[in-house]
A and B are shown apart, each in its own frame.
Chain A
Amino acid sequence: MRHLKATTFLIAAALAAPALAQQEGGRLDIVVQPEPPGLMLGLVQNGPTQLVSGDIYEGLLRYNTDLEPQPGLAESWEISEDGLTYTFKLHDGVTWHDGEPFTSADVVFSADVFLRETHARLRSSLAYVDSIEAPDDRTVVFNLKEPFGPFINAFEVGTMPIVPKHIYEGTDYATNEMNATPIGTGPFKFDEWVKGSHIHLVKNEDYYIDGLPHLDEIFYRVIPDAAARAVAFETGEVDVLPGGSVENWDVPRLTEMDGVCSTGKGWEFFAPHAWMWLNNREGPTADQKFRQAIMYALDREFVKDVVWNGFGTVATGPISSKTNFYSDDVTIYDHNPEKAKALLEEMGYDGEPVRVLPLPYGETWQRWAEAVRQNLSEVGINVEIDSTDVAGWNEKTSQWDYDMAFTYLYQYGDPALGVSRNYVASQISKGSPWNNVEGYENPELDEKWEAAATMVKPEDREAAYAEIQKEIVDDVPVAWLLELEFPTIYRCEVKNLVTTAIGVNDGPRDAWIEE
Chain B
Amino acid sequence: MWKRFFSNIGALIGVAILVTVIAVALLAPVIYPQGPWQMVQRPFLPPFTVDGLPLGTDTLGRDVAAQLAYGARVSLLVGLVSTIVALLIGVPLGAAAGFYGNMVDEGAMRFTEFFQTIPNFALAIVLVAIFQPSLASITLAIAIVSWPPVARLVRAEVMSVRKREFVDAARVAGLTPRRILIAQVLPNTVSPIIVMASLMVATAILLESSLSFLGLGDPNAMSWGYMIGAARTVIRSAWWLSFIPGVAIVVTVLALNLIGEGLNDALNPHLARKARA
Which residue numbers of A lie inside 8 Å of B, CB to CB? 226-227, 247, 249-250, 253, 302, 306-307, 358, 363, 366-367, 369-371, 373-374, 377-378, 384-387
Contact = CB atoms under 8 A, between A and B. Distances in A.
B132 A387 contact: yes
A371 B220 CA distance: 12
A371 B230 contact: no
A227 B235 CA distance: 10
Given A306-B43, A385-B219, A387-B219, A370 B60 contact: yes
A73 to B, nearest CB: 42
A373 B59 contact: no
A367 B60 contact: yes
Contacts of A249: 59, 233-234, 237
A374 B230 contact: no
Nearest to A246: B233
B38 interface: yes
Range for the number of chain B residues in contact with chain A: 10 to 19
A151 B133 CA distance: 47
Contact of B39 (A302, A358, A363, A387): A302
B40 to A, nearest CB: 10
Contacts of A377: 37
Contacts of A371: 39, 60
Nearest to B237: A253
Given A306-B39, A369-B219, 9 more contacts: A226-B233, A249-B233, A306-B43, A306-B60, A366-B215, A374-B38, A378-B38, A387-B133, A387-B219
Nearest to B128: A387
The DSSP consensus for interface residues of chain A is helix
Given A306-B43, A385-B219, A374 B37 contact: yes
The DSSP consensus for interface residues of chain B is loop
Interface string B56-95: 0001110000000000000000000000000000000000
5 contacts: A250-B237, A367-B59, A367-B230, A385-B219, A387-B216
A447 B133 CA distance: 44
Contact of B37 (A253, A302, A307, A370): A370
A253 B230 contact: no
Nearest to B43: A306
B236 interface: yes
Interface in B86-125: none
Given A306-B43, A306-B60, A370-B60, A253 B38 contact: no
A371 B236 CA distance: 23
Interface string B27-67: 00000000001110001000000000000000111000000
Contacts of A386: 132, 219
Nearest to A356: B219
Contacts of A253: 236-237
A72 to B, nearest CB: 39
A362 to B, nearest CB: 8
A307 B59 CA distance: 8
A378 B234 CA distance: 27
B164 to A, nearest CB: 52
Given A370-B37, A371-B39, A374-B39, A247 B60 contact: no
A373 B37 contact: yes
Shortest 3 CB-CB contacts between residues of A and residues of B: A385-B219, A387-B219, A249-B234
Contacts of A250: 233, 237
Nearest to A383: B220
Given A370-B37, A374-B37, A387-B219, A363 B60 contact: no
B147 to A, nearest CB: 26
B34 to A, nearest CB: 9
Contact of B60 (A307, A378, A384, A385): A307
Contacts of A302: 39
Please indicate which of the listed interface residues B39, B133, B230 has the most CB atoms of chain A within 10 Å of its own CB.
Answer: B39
Nearest to B229: A363
Please indicate which of the listed interface residues A363, A373, A377 has the most CB atoms of chain B within 10 Å of its own CB.
Answer: A363
Contact of A247 (B38, B132, B233): B233
Contacts of A374: 37-39
B37 A366 contact: no
Contacts of A370: 37, 60, 219
A202 to B, nearest CB: 36
A373 B61 CA distance: 15
Please indicate which of the listed interface residues B59, B133, B233 has the most CB atoms of chain A within 10 Å of its own CB.
Answer: B233
B103 to A, nearest CB: 43
Given A253-B237, A387-B219, A363 B43 contact: no
A512 to B, nearest CB: 32
Nearest to A305: B43
B58 to A, nearest CB: 9
Given A371-B39, A373-B37, A374-B39, A384 B230 contact: no
A357 to B, nearest CB: 10
Contacts of B236: 253
B134 to A, nearest CB: 9
Nearest to A248: B233
A370 B220 CA distance: 9
Contacts of A363: 59, 230, 233
B43 A385 contact: no
A106 B199 CA distance: 73
Nearest to A388: B132
A378 B132 CA distance: 26
Contacts of A226: 233
Nearest to B129: A389
B67 to A, nearest CB: 11
A306 B237 contact: no
A377 B133 CA distance: 21
A384 B132 CA distance: 13
A306 B61 contact: yes
A366 B220 CA distance: 11
Interface string B133-159: 100000000000000000000000000
